[in-house]
Amino acid sequence: MAEREVDRSVSQTVKAQLALRDQILSGSLRPGERISELQAVETTGASRTPVRMALVRLEEEGLLEAIPSGGFMVKAFSERDISDSIELRGTLEGLAARFAAERGVSARELEPLKECLAAIDELLRQVPISIEAFSSYVALNARFHALLTELSRSPPLIRQIDRASALPFASPSGFVMAQSALPEAQQILIIGQEHHRVVIDAIENREGARAEAVMREHARLAVRNLRLALRNRTHLDLLPALALIKTTTD
Amino acid sequence: MAEREVDRSVSQTVKAQLALRDQILSGSLRPGERISELQAVETTGASRTPVRMALVRLEEEGLLEAIPSGGFMVKAFSERDISDSIELRGTLEGLAARFAAERGVSARELEPLKECLAAIDELLRQVPISIEAFSSYVALNARFHALLTELSRSPPLIRQIDRASALPFASPSGFVMAQSALPEAQQILIIGQEHHRVVIDAIENREGARAEAVMREHARLAVRNLRLALRNRTHLDLLPALALIKTTTD
DNA sequence: TCCTTCGTTATTGTATACATAACGCATACA
DNA sequence: TGTATGCGTTATGTATACAATAACGAAGGA
């Protein structure tokens, strides 16, 4: 069959996985909806085998749920699920910060973190922050969290944090974007930046408990703000992950 | 093709997954060794498609690692990886205990936990503990931890704890078995039981911080004892997961 | 003697055909 | 009219054929 257009730059499995994730997060596939393999084959352009592999991976990732009688459906999340996921990630990042502090980190390793910090400081100097600056902030914040996670030098922990961030609303970018809908967005970003500053200081001074505590507080702040943000959903259209939230909160 | 003997009671994918996990944990497949799909097909009796699905699931589970050029290899773990995994699980269970305490748990929900506690008390009354009693202990302890996790009523957290327990040495049963090699085994079990008692008390009295703290201490104790146990490996032959530990600690 | 290149082989990635189980609809009987 | 049973359709689970790529080895030239 030569009529199928094949992109050989990435594997069909990866292509299918990305395409399906996109469909889920964009809301083309609604929560609770069963995913038809045949339909997925048509929309992704891959054949059934890679599509099935992608479905298995997305299930492990937490975006899909296996149906006992066979097949997969898009998972639905309650507001509580979301806030728990954020707090969960905060707890893991707290452990990462503690590991970093207790195990010691060289000045050279801390350098990229400090650069991130300075770059964010620079952005926050504008009042009010522009849209472009905000999207830079989202990227820098994600980078800061990723670097911090790496500092733990614990592959099992890093792996688990990555898993916890797989759900888009639990990723650093996800909840930052949600919070941006709030009128107090700028102040929130400034407080978050203060947390970043404290965790670096704590790691530098080898204060494990303090490093851990501030990361957990960081997450708790995010949870509170997300709750507020979800109250006035009108501003949240930009958040693709919203498609996954159950309309009826339990 | 009717010559292949097929067991229709479970799906071929599940069968292959169980068979491969067995091979990994029993040490038939050594850490770092590449898993040949063809060989896996022969040993599991399933065909390539379900074998590949099983391999993907085992990778997500953390027992396998994808090789960039294709295929999978058995993952190898350092001693540090193992102790980190235990502490990680302790941290998550701490969060679960805190959620349970803060969100409130009815007396009826706490009942199974207390039954578990009483059953373990009964077992520990024998000095020294018999082999049969010990294996009962392993089962009861696993049940206690599972019930406690459930009490959090947080599906994302429960999911993550399950993931963290996938590695056999990080599961409740795994490290209890490791500790059993120590001469102080009985005392260790008694201290662990005290932790169980405290966490129930803390949840009952809605003391979230205390419930969390004791579960983390529970894990830290396990880490210390596992380190000791790994010193005299001669007694550890019973622990299948040992096959996954790198011989050269980094 | 070592490095490079080409060819062969083995193993993975992909596609599709076939088998089987589930779901829905229609019809018949109570 | 409602329920139950059976058949047909559809979708998933499984097996295998085919394609492509990476690894290994041999041979030739520098």
Within 8 A by CB and 6+ apart from B249, the residues are B78, B79, B80
Q: Are residues A26 and A85 located together in one domain of the fold?
A: no
Q: Are residues B133 and B22 located together in one domain of the fold?
A: no
Binned at pLDDT 50, 70 and 90, residue B2 comes out as very low
Q: Are residues B94 and B122 located together in one domain of the fold?
A: yes
Binned at pLDDT 50, 70 and 90, residue B236 comes out as low
Q: How far apart, in whole angstroms, are the C-alpha atoms of residue B134 and residue A178? A: 50
Binned at pLDDT 50, 70 and 90, residue B250 comes out as very low
A contacts of B57 (beta carbons < 8 Å)? 56, 60
Question: Is A2 part of any domain?
Answer: no
- For chain A, where are the alpha helices, taking DSSP H only? 12-26, 37-44, 48-61, 79-103, 107-124, 131-151, 155-164, 172-179, 185-204, 208-231
Give the residue from A74, A92, A123 where a domain finishes. A74
pLDDT tens string A118-130: 999 998 888 777 7
Q: Are residues B61 and B101 located together in one domain of the fold?
A: no
Tell whether the model's pLDDT for residue B101 goes beyond 80. Answer: yes
Give the residue from B41, B59, B74 where a domain finishes. B74
What value does the mean pLDDT of chain A take?
A: 86
B contacts of A95 (beta carbons < 8 Å)? 87-88, 91
Q: What is the CATH number of the domain that holds A59?
A: 1.10.10.10
Residue for token pair 């300075």 = A118
Chain B touched by A79 (CB under 8 Å): no
Question: What pLDDT score was predicted for residue B6?
Answer: 42
Question: Is B3 part of any domain?
Answer: no
Q: What is the ipTM of this complex?
A: 0.88
Tell whether the model's pLDDT for residue B5 goes beyond 60. Answer: no
Question: Is A52 part of any domain?
Answer: yes
Binned at pLDDT 50, 70 and 90, residue B138 comes out as confident
A49, A62, A157: residue with CB nearest B88: A157
Minimal CA–CA distance to A150: which of A117, A115, A176, A113? A113
Mutate to test the interface with B, among A56, A57, A153, A245 (most CBs of B within 10 A): A56
- What number is the average pLDDT over the span A169-190? 75
Q: What is the CATH number of the domain that holds B211?
A: 1.20.120.530
Number of domains, chain B: 2
Q: Is the CB of B42 under 7 A from strand C?
A: no
Residues 13-52 of B with CB under 7 A from strand D: 13, 46-50
Question: What pLDDT score was predicted for residue B237?
Answer: 55
Question: Is B230 part of any domain?
Answer: yes
Question: Is B140 part of any domain?
Answer: yes
Query: Looking at chain B, how many residues does it have?
Result: 250
Binned at pLDDT 50, 70 and 90, residue A3 comes out as very low
Question: Is B250 part of any domain?
Answer: no
Residue % of chain B over a pLDDT of 90: 58
How many angstroms separate the CA of residue A118 from the nearest CA in chain B?
31
Question: Is A4 part of any domain?
Answer: no
Chain B touched by A62 (CB under 8 Å): yes
Binned at pLDDT 50, 70 and 90, residue A52 comes out as very high
Q: Are residues B113 and B48 located together in one domain of the fold?
A: no
Within 8 A by CB and 6+ apart from B212, the residues are B94, B95, B97, B98, B101
Question: Is B2 part of any domain?
Answer: no
Question: What pLDDT score was predicted for residue A215?
Answer: 97
Which bases on strand C have an atom closer than 7 Å to a protein beta carbon? 11-17, 21-23
Give the residue from B28, B49, B74 where a domain finishes. B74
Half-sphere exposure of A170 (CA within 13 A, CB side): 31
B70 compared with B64, residue with greater pLDDT: B64
Q: Are residues A161 and A238 located together in one domain of the fold?
A: yes
Contact A154 B62 (CB under 8 A): no
Q: Are residues A97 and A216 located together in one domain of the fold?
A: yes
Minimal CA–CA distance to A77: which of A25, A138, A20? A25
Q: Are residues A16 and A109 located together in one domain of the fold?
A: no
Pairing outcome for strands A64-66 and A34-35: unpaired
Q: Are residues A203 and A119 located together in one domain of the fold?
A: yes
B contacts of A163 (beta carbons < 8 Å)? 160, 163
Q: Are residues B160 and B218 located together in one domain of the fold?
A: yes
Q: Are residues A92 and A49 located together in one domain of the fold?
A: no
Question: What pLDDT score was predicted for residue A63?
Answer: 93
What value does the mean pLDDT of chain B take?
A: 86
C-alpha distances (whole Å) from A5 to each of A2, A18, A23, A47 are 7, 17, 20, 11
Tell whether the model's pLDDT for residue B7 goes beyond 50. Answer: no
Q: How far apart, in whole angstroms, are the C-alpha atoms of residue B163 and residue A49? A: 26
Q: Are residues B217 and B130 located together in one domain of the fold?
A: yes
Domain with A51 in it: 12-74
- What number is the average pLDDT over the span B81-107? 95
Q: How far is the CA of A10 from the C1' of C4 (A)?
A: 29
How many angstroms separate the CA of residue B129 from the nearest CA in chain A?
34
Question: What pLDDT score was predicted for residue B4?
Answer: 39
Q: How far apart, in whole angstroms, are the C-alpha atoms of residue B167 and residue B81? A: 11
